[in-house]
Amino acid sequence: MRFRSIFTNSAGILVSRIFGFVRDLLTASVLGANIYSDIFFVAFKLPNLFRRIFAEGAFVQSFLPSFIASKSRSVFAVAVLIRFFLFLMGASLLVTIFSEEITKLIALGFSDEAVAAAAPLVAINFYYLDFIFLVTFLSALLQYKEHFATTAFSTALLNISMITVLVLYRHDAPRTIVYALSFSVLIGGVLQLALHLWMAGRKGFCRMLAGGFAYLGKRRGESEKELKRFSRRFFPSVLGNSTAQLSSFIDTWLASFLVSGSISYLFYANRLFQLPLALFATAASVALFPTVSKLLKRGLVDEAKAESKRVFWLLVGLLGGATAIGIVLSYEIVELLFERGEFDGTDTQNTSAVLMMYLAGLVPFGLAKLFSLWLYASQRQAEAAKIAAKSLGFNILFSLLLIAPMEAPGLALASSLSGWILLFLTLKAVGREIFLDIMRSKYAPLSLVFIAVCTLSAWGIKVVVDAYL
């Protein structure tokens, strides 16, 4: 296992998240937690949901194996590029035309006035998805060359763009600020794309894609067959990789029925939750996936277990520590990062309660990412999709049961409970023998960390439940 790749991804994610926290800090200070912040977060939610699904594995886990196996890689790559980009452009135009209807679906609890205010912003923000697909496509090609740095660090450009706008427009009316923020999202997408195009050119991919365009017509029949095989892997992979993101999206949708500010509490808390998940679990899974895929394809199961074993115990220690620190210091963390300007003590208390509930699911979501790689590497995308669908179903059920008594923290707790179900079902699919072999290690005493985290999570849940019931 190349730990250098993990640390490169982690460093890039850390830099991006530092800028992201600066962005969130400024957003909380300038907008606070009110109807205007809710409107922007709703508008940004849809493209951000698809960005996370694309960027955190679904596309790469389907495209890269198909690209490697293709007889004409340049033609296959161009065929995928054209098909996806035309589809996303069409979707963007539909969102623009039916922006109010889309906004109502995202936030059913919004009043007519809030929907009318949010609809144009939803349309603007959705075009970011067109840019981020091109970025993800190029990043998949760069991963083929085992180059991770450009993609890892480029996300910071989006946050830098939004920070710049918040600083420039901080004294303007809230409506002006949310419009400026929406356009800054598109500027961030352009900057990310420009950086990837530059690196792709240096790696020779621009010439390769030009050749693919030239020969596409001559090899259309062959490319269609490869596209069908790719599609059969891609769509189950999307569902399999999107459980945490869809859970967060459902939280936002249901929170629109709660008091003003609830969507913002969930957003700020989820941002904190996503930091260790991305910094450790996502970074490790991105770097580990090519290695495990190659080893399993060659039948070297024991070697694949050995690579997974080291990463497993690394994640147990890091995610467990992050969970413990986050639950114990949830109030202080939110207060330090966000409590200033329009974000007051009540907002801090509500956000910290939501954060504690999200953190109860940090370990299972992180470990599920690791073990799901075995399913994707074995081309069992459909099985992974079924597991994700079951987990998502439980999340919806728990959300409906907990939203009334616990409000926003109940939605976060529902997400965490579904994470434990996701981990259980994933381990069951991977196999008891593989899991136990990975568990057997000189690092086994770290299992005490896992037990301690479970105990601390239960305590945190009890504290919040007692406060609401």
Same domain, 196 and 280: no
Give the whole-number percent of the chain exceeding pLDDT 70: 82
Structural domain tally of the chain? 2
Same domain, 190 and 290: no
**Tally of CB atoms within 10 A around 459:** 12
Look at 394 and 378; give whichever has higher pLDDT: 394
pTM: 0.70
Same domain, 137 and 198: yes
Look at 138 and 59; give whichever has higher pLDDT: 138
Same domain, 261 and 123: no
**If pLDDT is split at 50, 70 and 90, which confidence band does 1 have?**
very low
pLDDT > 60? residue 33: yes
pLDDT > 90? residue 191: yes
Instruction: Give the per-residue pLDDT at 243.
Output: 66
In a domain, 29, yes or no: no
> What residue numbers bound the domain in which 120 lies?
34-240
For the chain, what is the largest distance between any 2 Cα atoms, rounded to a whole number of angstroms?
Answer: 68
In a domain, 21, yes or no: no
Q: Where does a domain end: 240, 275, 304?
A: 240
Residue 377 in contact with residue 293, Cβ under 8 Å? Answer: yes
In a domain, 9, yes or no: no
Same domain, 352 and 390: yes
Q: Report how far apart, in Å, the C-alpha atoms of 243 and of each of 77, 265, 316, 357, 382 are.
A: 27, 20, 20, 17, 14
SS3 for 258?
coil
Give the whole-number percent of the chain exceeding pLDDT 90: 7
In a domain, 6, yes or no: no
Q: What average pLDDT does the segment 419-446 reach? A: 78
In a domain, 108, yes or no: yes
Average of per-residue pLDDT values in the chain? 80
pLDDT > 80? residue 370: yes
Instruction: Give the per-residue pLDDT at 54.
Output: 61
In a domain, 436, yes or no: yes
Same domain, 232 and 322: no
Q: What's the CA gap between 57 and 63, in Å, rounded?
A: 10
Same domain, 393 and 262: yes
Same domain, 155 and 262: no
Q: What's the CA gap between 210 and 81, in Å, rounded?
A: 12
Residue 309 in contact with residue 301, Cβ under 8 Å? Answer: no
Same domain, 60 and 119: yes
Same domain, 231 and 129: yes
Q: Where does a domain end: 240, 259, 280?
A: 240
pLDDT > 50? residue 390: yes
Q: Where does a domain end: 210, 240, 270?
A: 240
pLDDT tens-place string over residues 217-267? 666 666 677 777 777 777 776 666 666 667 767 777 788 788 777 888 888
pLDDT tens-place string over residues 405-424? 888 888 888 988 998 999 99
Residue 209 in contact with residue 74, Cβ under 8 Å? Answer: yes
Residue where the block lists tokens 């949901």? 49
Q: What average pLDDT does the segment 213-217 reach? A: 74
Instruction: Give the per-residue pLDDT at 468.
Output: 60
**If pLDDT is split at 50, 70 and 90, which confidence band does 444 have?**
low
User: With 0-12 CB in 10 A as exposed, 13-18 as middle and 19+ as buried, what is 242?
Assistant: buried
In a domain, 264, yes or no: yes
pLDDT tens-place string over residues 286-343? 777 777 777 776 777 777 777 777 788 878 888 888 888 888 888 888 888 888 777 7
Same domain, 357 and 273: yes
Q: What average pLDDT does the segment 113-135 reach? A: 84
Instruction: Give the per-residue pLDDT at 187.
Output: 93
pLDDT tens-place string over residues 56-93? 566 777 777 777 777 778 888 888 888 888 888 898 89
Same domain, 143 and 228: yes
| Tokens (6 digits) for 107 | 């936030």
Q: What's the CA gap between 47 and 95, in Å, rounded?
A: 11
Name the least confident of 93-102, 232-241, 364-373, 399-408: 232-241
In a domain, 102, yes or no: yes
pLDDT > 60? residue 353: yes
Look at 214 and 158; give whichever has higher pLDDT: 158
